[in-house]
Structure 1
Amino acid sequence: MGRLPVDVRASLRLFAFYLANGTIDADLLDGFDYRPGLFQFGSSLEQVFAIYGNVLEVGPDGKVLNEGEAQYRAAQWIRGYCDPGYRVEPPFQAWETELHGP
């Protein structure tokens, strides 16, 4: 595979749009303006994208299969980051939060 399929690129673009607008999973994050804390340091934003990318599933035809689930898991991490009283259910597995790359 040379490039990410169009569906995956569109999913990533929409995720970045919702994240920047403060509208990732509005039900879970209602009332939480996570942007100041999340965007202040790169490592927290990096973790959000890692979770989204790790959870995102792509079918053999290049179509995204679980965009909502990937956004929700990223939103859960954001909520936990901004609200120490929030408990992620189910807890993250190591593969979901793993950072890949050099």
Structure 2
Amino acid sequence: MKLSNSFSGALRTFAYFMASGTQNTLVGVNYLELYGEEPSAIEQVFAIYANVIELDENGNVLNSKYAEKRATDYLRAYCDPMFKVEPPYEAWEVELYGPPPLKDLI
């Protein structure tokens, strides 16, 4: 099974705006420097995004903006200790799953 075009497009768009420094939910947050200095913060953002995003039975993304907001709120709070994520994260949202095997299965 492959990921849907809808999910691929949502992920690509999120990654582009995160990498370009133009993510609209992070206006005023200087987060680009974290890419070289604090990669675990960026890793957590993408983990939250992947954990929160939902697809329908046809693979169409249902909540891309909500997934972006939940993910980027983590980074905003990471950069600004005065920012409080609301509602607080649930354990499943911030779960970091294991990496893939070192060799492809196919």
Structure 1-normalised TM-score? 0.90
2:47 is the counterpart of 1:50: yes
Q: Is the 8 A contact 2:49 2:71 kept in 1?
A: yes
Residues 1-60 of structure 1: CA deviation (Å, up to 9, x unaligned): x11111111111001001012222x2x422111110244232111101000000000000
Structure 2-normalised TM-score? 0.87
* Bigger fraction of residues in helix: 1
Gaps of 5+ in 2: 100-106
Q: Is the 8 A contact 1:39 1:45 kept in 2?
A: no
Large movers: runs of 4+ above 6 Å = none
2:67 — aligned with what? 70
CA RMSD in angstroms comes to 1.2
Structure exhibiting the larger radius of gyration computed from Cα positions? 2
Residues 52-76 of structure 1: CA deviation (Å, up to 9, x unaligned): 0000000001100000000000110
Gaps of 5+ in 1: none
How many pairs were matched up? Answer: 99
Determine what percentage of the aligned residue pairs are the same residue. 45
